[in-house]
């Protein structure tokens, strides 16, 4: 995935009766509006996570060719849609799952709580947002598509006055030793401050300190990091203490935390300028 571009003003953002909708040519980013939209997002997730990335579906997922869980019914689904593909599920080419505090309470907790102790994040004053299930169709992993997706997130953050974003981000593979450089780099250079630091639950905790600080080459480490994680770091993001092996998704997960001060400041300036120009 491409790096986030949260600081870029979105093209013609609009919140109407149907919710968020931002258009750019044939492309649109908006929130799912009905069961068919959610089904299309789940179908895309299955193609990317299970067909392409070799995650292990449950028998029911395999039969339905959909990636799903209980959070899908309480969260917001952000969709990237290519109107040039006609109609139906095939038009959804990107998605992100957005879980606010209220939705998490209705479900009984956040998704990340299965991997991390996030009590400090849950106690953070103001609205918090958990990001997850991010994926884009292979033919659309271009900078314009990814910027449109992230502009949708930025507009969502601004609209709902989100103070803090967090979620699990993944590195490919389930052998931490092969990920020693990026994991150690993240721990030694981007560890969250104690007041905001999630920690992997004890039963799943994998120590990220697999190399001493003096042995780390930051340039090489950044090359080995997935673009999405690098993008979070560019926004000033932090990581939690400990990695977690996700056998189902064939990944090694870390917990990312991003304060949204930069996002909201840029958007406030953007809309203040638009107001003056109007």
pLDDT for 6: 43
CA distances to 84, 117, 162, 226 from 233, in Å? 34, 21, 18, 11
* Residues in the chain where the model's pLDDT stays below 70: 1-18, 262-278
The confidence score (pLDDT) of residue 262 equals 61
Tokens describing residue 239: 């990581």
Q: What are phi and psi of 267, to 5 degrees?
A: -70, -40
* pLDDT in the model for residue 204: 97
Beta bridge partners of 145: none
| Domains of the chain and any CATH numbers | 14-277 (3.40.630.30)
pLDDT value, residue 9: 43
Q: Per DSSP, which regions of the chain are E strands?
A: 14-16, 19-24, 27-31, 76-82, 92-100, 116-117, 127-136, 162-172, 199-200, 238-239, 244-246, 251-259
pLDDT attached to residue 19: 77
Q: Model-level pTM?
A: 0.87
pLDDT digits (tens, 9 = 90+) for 8-37: 444 444 565 557 889 989 999 999 999 999
Q: What is the pLDDT of residue 147?
A: 84
Which pLDDT does position 265 carry in this prediction? 60
Give the pLDDT score at 269: 56
- Secondary structure tally for the chain: helices H, strands E: 9, 12
């Amino acid at each position: 995935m491409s790096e986030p571009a949260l600081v870029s003003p979105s093209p013609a953002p609009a919140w109407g009766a149907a919710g968020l909708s931002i258009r750019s040519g044939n492309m649109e980013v908006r929130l799912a509006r009905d069961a068919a939209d959610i089904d299309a997002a789940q179908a895309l997730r299955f193609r990317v996570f299970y067909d392409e990335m070799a995650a292990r579906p449950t028998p029911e997922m395999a039969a339905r060719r959909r990636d799903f869980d209980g959070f899908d019914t309480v969260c917001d689904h952000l969709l990237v849609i290519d109107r040039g593909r006609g109609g139906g599920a095939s038009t959804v080419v990107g998605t992100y799952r957005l879980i606010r505090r209220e939705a998490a309470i209705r479900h009984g907790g956040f998704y990340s709580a299965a991997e991390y102790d996030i009590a400090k994040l849950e106690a953070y004053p103001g609205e918090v947002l958990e990001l997850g299930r991010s994926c884009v169709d292979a033919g659309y992993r271009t900078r314009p598509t990814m910027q449109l997706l992230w502009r949708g997130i930025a507009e969502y953050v601004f609209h709902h006055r989100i103070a803090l974003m967090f979620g699990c981000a993944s590195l490919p593979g389930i052998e931490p030793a092969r990920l020693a450089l990026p994991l150690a780099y993240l721990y030694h250079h981007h560890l969250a401050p104690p007041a905001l630091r999630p920690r992997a639950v004890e039963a799943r905790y994998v120590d990220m300190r697999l190399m001493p600080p003096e042995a780390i080459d930051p340039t090489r480490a950044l090359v080995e990091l997935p673009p999405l994680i690098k993008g979070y770091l560019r926004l000033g993001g932090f990581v939690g203490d400990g990695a977690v092996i996700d056998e189902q998704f064939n990944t090694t997960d870390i917990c990312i935390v991003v304060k949204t001060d930069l996002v909201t400041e840029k958007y406030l300036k953007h809309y203040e300028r638009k107001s003056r120009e109007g």
